[in-house]
Amino acid sequence: MGPEGTCFECGVFPAKLIFPPDYPLSPPKMQFTCEMFHPNIYSDGRVCISILHAPGDDPMGYETSAERWSPVQSVEKILLSVVSMLAEPNDESSANVDAAKMWRDDREQFNKIAERLVRKTLNLPYP
């Protein structure tokens, strides 16, 4: 569900977690199975968040190893991180450049798109 007090509030956003054969040594992948518009979600629904990045040092030097996947992470921690990401996108490291730009420059339009997506997940008409 979309986090309370955000433009995604009340939305029900189905997603799937895909666990690799060497889980928990490698992170699962997460992909929304509904339409999403968010700076940290690719257009095909794949989630781009530090906790789901391979363990170890970031080759780009953006994330610390402590922010990346560790075998001690839980599914609950992943889901909490994604809900937090919905509430507070990281527009500095975007998977969807258009969404990141709109988040920064035209929050009102971003919120309208999010509201349409929320209504769509609930099978409600959009005015």
Catalytic residue (choose from 7, 10, 34, 48): 48
Residue 125: band (very low, low, confident or very high) from pLDDT cuts 50, 70, 90: confident
C-alpha–C-alpha distance, residues 2 and 86, integer Å: 7
48 belongs to the catalytic site: yes
Structure tokens of 116?
């349409």
For position 81, what pLDDT does the model report?
Answer: 95
For position 18, what pLDDT does the model report?
Answer: 97
> What digits encode the pLDDT tens for the residues 31-73?
999 999 999 999 999 999 999 988 887 777 677 778 889 999 9
> What digits encode the pLDDT tens for the residues 89-115?
998 889 999 999 999 999 999 999 999
> What digits encode the pLDDT tens for the residues 70-81?
999 999 999 999
Taken in order of first residue, the domains within the chain and their CATH numbers are: 15-121 (3.10.110.10)
C-alpha–C-alpha distance, residues 34 and 118, integer Å: 10
What residues have CB less than 8 Å from 68, skipping those under 6 apart? Answer: 50, 51, 53, 54, 55, 56, 58
For position 61, what pLDDT does the model report?
Answer: 63
Q: What pTM does this model have?
A: 0.91
